[in-house]
Structure 1
């Protein structure tokens, strides 16, 4: 078979990574702000204090800006599956398309409809009715994330489907199996809670800006305190749920967990250190300048003190028989397509779980055809294919560590924020307020590193152990891909510029007070914009 031009595959990957990372700049803030708005409005409904309504309306305005641009950047991504990843769409469309359709029909439209009611219904609905609408918006935004993550989890842990040799594609088996995929459930909660961390630091940072300028002080102090408490609870949750995801990777994606930990050789418990920093070299398959903490890795990953973790060298060795089995599966499938003999189908079914490894060997086979491998060539092809089972270790290793280091930083900053806020000492510590202000983008960066860890760590597969990435792209020309990539870069840069402009504009304007709470500043709100 003719393989897709590697340059086209790389450009397709880069374009999808670019659009996904651009889009995901908006998603966490949307997920987190909705429930913070619901919490603020709940206090307003219960206490009747106007300041909490002011808080819900002001932070809701910033949510609306972020939500609109998040929708705009997300819609274009869905078209990329058909335009740039046609082989993937054909092979896995049933599995991926179903949750995407549900996300569009149920979660997205529910969220979009009630967002309008939330914004324009303050004076048209009773307090409890409007609060219910706000909670529906929060539920809808998180349901959108759920269905996207169900689709993504099917790529990482393809359950609820089987490969059909008649149609040459994955066929949907169990809706329940897909929805309750363990990877989907863990990722959904982890991602949603990461959004709560993002929203908490966003509210804290802007509130710190007002406190530094001694404007909207009563409003800012209340917002800051609520965000600090919300943030520390969310940070503890996101770290805990990250451990759950790590355990799932250890059980189902050993190459990813080995790359995350930079573990080239099988560990030697209980001493094996958790490597804090190192320079993994994918070419030599070794790491340099390692700094580690002994006796940590084994209990961290396996939750025991004696279970070894398989290293990448041993994983490559273990892949050898699976590559041979996969080649046998593809050969039998080819013969079955020509002869429709039951014996060929039986042989394929006996080896079909390794078919993806056979596809992975395609690049090293004569004329990119694994059925043409002669017996004396088999060992060479298998040896050349073994290193291909590993992701980019340097990227996966450091993306994970940067995410972890930032998570620990968030725990410290939220703990300090809660303490200083409860002690009413915020305005005495201007350095800390500045730290909160400049930390606003860090949770977004942390979530981006989280997605890089998850997606880079899944390589070389689009569908784990089923379909290699280099076989998943469309057969475009290089020129088309460069033009498309340039267009997306320009379009998304405009979106980000619009987001930043509107966020800065309305954040600097601040809340527009209409009661006594607006008089606790040394300068009018309008002066903040100048």
Structure 2
């Protein structure tokens, strides 16, 4: 990739997003786990559950504070590095971000304060309501962000105004209930629940191995295993839904994930293993399972999944139709109104306007798409293919980790039912070493979602290369170095604070005296 302004702007946003997403999943999941633990405390009156809520709440607070600091920068980047994108789709994209800031963020921030400082000032039920509001605020924040992101994947409820050269909202409810956005939301928050569950499970397993805070560790592992198993299973189900929607809305992404170069007879096979070669357009040493991809992608045995070469040919046709729309748009702009041009021009734009974005792909090769050569059109058509090896391996590693999470949480859930959750030290060690794995899976999921959309910043509407600001490459490179430095320092600060809090453990003042008799004996419930 050339280090031009487009590549550098993409790199900067990718770095800040990947850093920020280290904090988001844990915030989403821990907020729900805190609410569950405090609910048990209010229902049973057992102080150990209050102690658990406070301890895990301390870790939540550390993560929340630094997550907010890293997330604010990302929203400013839309105006700084992607100004034409902000101008082009600000009417649609800005609304969910504004709602997220006004409603979810303030709701979350307000009740976070009540959670930490309201233990002795609110009633038990009142504080529990505040804790559930923290959880609701965290998840509402993710909802509005993913509505905005889902619209980038599947731009619905909006029309292009040729006079203002902007996308404008035509149906806000279509934007709000975009099926891609809804699937992304539930899939993302479920992944966050898995992340928090394995974090709680791993830290608690470490306590069990050290023989410390056994009462807290056993109960925390039981909650984490139960919640984590349900979440891990839901990630699989919701991931299947996302794959199905990709068949309808992002065919090229799905074909690239599968390294499916040619259209196969229905039902398509699933490639378990292989080495995609984008230069030769084939997958070496491919190991395929018949029918599986057809069932996942189409939920039928008769519907084919188009391959990359067929989709490139389809893109080539849409580029040619987009050139017609581009020509009509220039004539409309010359007179300044759609009513002042001839009916022939209006009809040409209305018939081909949906393909205007494909004509803009030619801007990489020629200033005026109407002057593009057949060779340039062919290059632009192949530009619609993302990095196939990256998608192929990112997806499979993510799925493999997901299967491991199901096995691990199922094992601990069964052991918790049999009251032997800490009976196997080797299994506790596995849980400790598994702590970072959900973050790896989550980051790979982001890579699949965002890299798979390229070369589009808005699927089929606006190419990424056309959306950047007019900045110098040196300016963007300097900010990249600054962000990497600052974010790395913040991560080390968080890890240091987290490790210190874990090493210290829960406040012993609130631990019931009966449970301090022996660190290896937990009184019967």
Shorter-chain TM-score category?
Answer: over 0.9
Query: 1:521: Cα distance to partner?
Result: 5.3
Instruction: Provide the C-alpha distance between the structure 2 equivalents of 1:444 and 1:363, rounded to a whole number of angstroms.
Output: 35
How do residues 442-457 of structure 1 correspond to structure 2 at under 5 angstroms? 442-457=437-452
Instruction: Provide the C-alpha distance between the structure 2 equivalents of 1:274 and 1:231, rounded to a whole number of angstroms.
Output: 27
Q: 1:133 aligns with which of 130, 134, 147?
A: 130
Q: What's 1:526 paired with?
A: none
| 1:244 paired to 2:245 | no
Of the structure 1 ranges 498-507 and 289-298, higher mean CA displacement relative to structure 2 is found in 289-298
How do residues 82-481 of structure 1 correspond to structure 2 at under 5 angstroms? 82-270=79-267, 272-340=268-336, 341-343=341-343, 344-365=345-366, 368-373=367-372, 377=373, 379-481=374-476
Q: What's 1:9 paired with?
A: 6
Q: Structure 1: give runs of 5+ residues left out of the alignment.
A: 524-530
TM-score, length of structure 2 as denominator length: 0.95
- Equivalent pair of 2:218/2:422 in contact (CA under 8 Å): no
Q: 1:20 aligns with which of 4, 14, 17?
A: 17
Q: SS at 1:389's partner residue?
A: coil
Query: 1:393: Cα distance to partner?
Result: 0.9
> Residues 121 and 517 of structure 1: is their aligned pair in 2 closer, same or farther, counting only changes over 3 Å?
farther
Instruction: Provide the C-alpha distance between the structure 2 equivalents of 1:410 and 1:147, rounded to a whole number of angstroms.
Output: 27
**How many matched pairs?**
512
Q: What's 2:523 paired with?
A: none
Query: 1:412: Cα distance to partner?
Result: 0.3
How do residues 496-511 of structure 1 correspond to structure 2 at under 5 angstroms? 496-511=491-506
> Residues 102 and 521 of structure 1: is their aligned pair in 2 closer, same or farther, counting only changes over 3 Å?
farther
Q: SS at 2:390's partner residue?
A: helix
> Residues 359 and 521 of structure 1: is their aligned pair in 2 closer, same or farther, counting only changes over 3 Å?
farther
| 1:79 paired to 2:80 | no
- Equivalent pair of 1:218/1:520 in contact (CA under 8 Å): no
Query: 1:56: Cα distance to partner?
Result: 0.6
Q: SS at 2:119's partner residue?
A: coil
- Equivalent pair of 1:160/1:173 in contact (CA under 8 Å): yes
Deviation readout 1:21-40 (Å, 9 max, x if unpaired): 10001001100111111110
Instruction: Provide the C-alpha distance between the structure 1 equivalents of 2:71 and 2:403, rounded to a whole number of angstroms.
Output: 30
Query: 1:520: Cα distance to partner?
Result: 5.0
Of the structure 1 ranges 206-215 and 347-356, higher mean CA displacement relative to structure 2 is found in 347-356
Instruction: Provide the C-alpha distance between the structure 2 equivalents of 1:202 and 1:244, rounded to a whole number of angstroms.
Output: 26
> Residues 44 and 156 of structure 1: is their aligned pair in 2 closer, same or farther, counting only changes over 3 Å?
same
Q: SS at 2:143's partner residue?
A: helix
> Residues 461 and 6 of structure 1: is their aligned pair in 2 closer, same or farther, counting only changes over 3 Å?
farther
Q: SS at 1:124's partner residue?
A: coil
**RMSD of aligned residue pairs (Cα, Å):** 1.4
Query: 1:370: Cα distance to partner?
Result: 1.0
> Residues 220 and 369 of structure 1: is their aligned pair in 2 closer, same or farther, counting only changes over 3 Å?
same
Q: SS at 1:35's partner residue?
A: helix
> Residues 504 and 520 of structure 1: is their aligned pair in 2 closer, same or farther, counting only changes over 3 Å?
farther
> Residues 217 and 520 of structure 1: is their aligned pair in 2 closer, same or farther, counting only changes over 3 Å?
farther
Instruction: Provide the C-alpha distance between the structure 2 equivalents of 1:282 and 1:84, rounded to a whole number of angstroms.
Output: 30
